[in-house]
Amino acid sequence: MKLFSEDIVERAAAACNVGDISHATIGEMVLVSQWLQKETGIPFVRMDQGSPSLPQNRYGIEAEKAALDRGEGAAYPAADGIPEVKQAASKFMKAFMDIDISPRACIPTVGSVMGSFSAFIACTQRTPGKDKVLFIDPGFPIMKSQLRVLGIEWKEFDIFPFRGESLRDELERQLSSGDVAVITYSSPNNPAWICLEESELEIIGSLATKYDAIVLEDQAYFCMDSRRDLSHPYKAPFAPTVARYTDNYIITTSSSKIFSYAGQRIALTCISDDLFDRRYPALDQRYHNTGVFGPTLVAAIMYMITSGCTASAQFGYARMMELACEGKINFVEDTKAYAERAEKMKRIFCNNGFNIVYDRDVTQEIGDGFFFTLGYGGLTGEQLLKELVYYGISSISLGTTGSRQKGVRACTSRITDDVFPLLEERVKAFNEDHKQKRD
């Protein structure tokens, strides 16, 4: 039985200036669910926004407080980051990915969104005629919103039918025009939680080198693939990365999920040393500098966006990374709660007629983590999103992420232990009302 009528959902959408709820963005779904909850007093099961729900890492807090007490907040930090965070970042990438990036090429940013925004600018301006971005979808919708702001064109394809060796042919097809400046993806993936395997990363890396495209690898969920223990610094297994297969890479990673430090908006953009030092006449001509990629990215682009990151947040981030490299904190273990929630949530949904849409990587089933994807019978993602709202469950359609599959994204971050009984009750009610149509 529905909790919300079509009429009140339509009123909620109108009140929140949402034209069509079936195509709502993450932010729009947040507004609609909050409006309905406030107006009716009926709590929503929130699977929409990926906001961390675990306690902040206390070592970061202590380091920030100490930095402020020392007076670090009284002076502007260097635009490319304080030495402590740059050195810790270089060690961190070595400890958990087994890749070598010098401290000078590790740049703190105000969230990884700033890192991708800046990288899109620099990468599409470096070579005349190479000005498009290629998305290996599904992906983080905000990135395409960034390109709309910047006026940058993009290409896209859903990786669902192109896993493994078949990825090579599709990438060749997309890159052969010669106009792609950037290839981007997330792994572990938002929204599907698929993880690119080493064979796929090798394909991407080799073709990025062949076609002179820069790979922007989004590692927001760094080491959060629950199928392998990636928690031991300087010991295999290491987190998979395209950096092993090309020098044409930029990696963005963040403190938001792995250290539950989202409110401080502190992240990293780590650039291969080879790319950092590369000279581009087009950048020289535009910015009237030497045209060297790294310094141009930092001084001519990033500085124009935020003038650098908050000093105390950098000290906090540096301390957390240092302790992780020393094995004194285990951020992988700290985030396992999301995987445990995903396992329980999947069981509830799958026991009530739902299916996992992106259910496999090349050689194994996907793991459990921050996100997963859900389908139900023949419903499109847009139809399923809207139907779930009537039962007090919010999500986003896979169509907003570049996916061509039918379904929605489910986020585990807000599904704490006290929410599970409510979730199960509503999913059962949904299935009872829809199972005849499904069958």
The rounded distance, in Å, linking the Cα atoms of 244 and 383 is 41
Q: What percent of the chain has pLDDT over 70?
A: 99
Nearest to 298 by CA among 243, 289, 246, 265: 289
- Number of Cβ within 10 Å of residue 351's Cβ equals 12
Q: Pull the structure tokens for residue 76.
A: 């502007």
Percent of the chain with pLDDT over 90: 93
Q: What is the pLDDT of residue 251?
A: 98
pLDDT bin (cut points 50, 70, 90) of residue 104 is very high
DSSP string over 196-229: --HHHHHHHHHHHHHTT-EEEEEETTTT--TTS-
Q: For residue range 137-174, list pLDDT tens digits in order.
A: 999 999 999 999 999 999 999 999 999 999 999 999 99
Q: Which pLDDT band, with edges at 50, 70 and 90, does 51 fall under?
A: confident
The full DSSP string for 73-120 is GGSPPPTT--HHHHHHHHHHHHHHH-----GGGEEEESSHHHHHHHHH
Q: What is the pLDDT of residue 439?
A: 60
The DSSP-derived string for 335-394 is THHHHHHHHHHHHHHHTTTEEESS-B-SSSB---SSEEEEEETT--HHHHHHHHHHTTEE
Q: Which helix or strand (DSSP H or E) is residue 317 part of?
A: helix 311-325
Token pair for 258? 């792995």
pLDDT for 213: 98
* Bridge partners for 202 per DSSP: none
Residue 383 Cα distances to 88, 150, 309, angstroms:
46, 31, 41
> Which residue has tokens 């928690």?
231
Average pLDDT value for residue range 230-249: 97
Residue 437 has pLDDT above 80, yes or no: no
Predicted confidence (pLDDT) per residue in 259-305, tens digit: 999 999 999 999 999 999 999 999 999 999 999 999 999 999 999 99
Which residues, in sequence order, are CB contacts of 168 under 8 Å at separation 6+? Answer: 203, 207
Counting DSSP H helices and E strands in the chain, the numbers are: 17, 13
Let me know: does 158 contact 96? Beta carbons within 8 Å: no
Q: How confident is the model at residue 432 (pLDDT cuts 50, 70, 90)?
A: very high
d(CA 152, CA 214): 15
> Both ends of the chain: CA-CA distance in Å?
19
Nearest CA to 357 out of 431, 407, 427 is that of 407
Residue 325 in contact with residue 264, Cβ under 8 Å? no
Overall average pLDDT of the 369-388 stretch: 96
What structural domains and CATH numbers belong to the chain? 6-54+333-438 (3.90.1150.100), 58-325 (3.40.640.10)
Asked if the model's pLDDT at residue 438 lies above 70, the reply is no
For the cut 80, the answer to whether the pLDDT of residue 79 exceeds it is yes
Does the pLDDT at position 20 exceed 90?
no
Average the pLDDT over 406-431 and give the result.
96
Please choose, from the candidates 96, 66, 138, 90, the residue with its C-alpha nearest in 3D space to the C-alpha of residue 270: 90
Q: Residue 436: is its pLDDT beyond 80?
A: no
Q: By C-alpha distance, which of 316, 266, 268 is closest to 97? A: 268
What is the pLDDT at residue 49? 83
Work out the number of other CB atoms within 10 angstroms of the CB of residue 135.
24
Six-digit token string for 298: 């930092």
Output the DSSP codes for 147-177.
HHHHT--EEEEESTT--TTHHHHHHHHHHTT
Q: Which of 27-31, 222-226, 316-320 has the lowest mean pLDDT?
A: 27-31
Query: In which element (H, E) is residue 32 found?
Result: helix 26-40
Contacts with 30 (C-beta within 8 Å, 6 or more apart), sequence order:
46, 48, 49, 394
H or E element at residue 249: strand 249-254
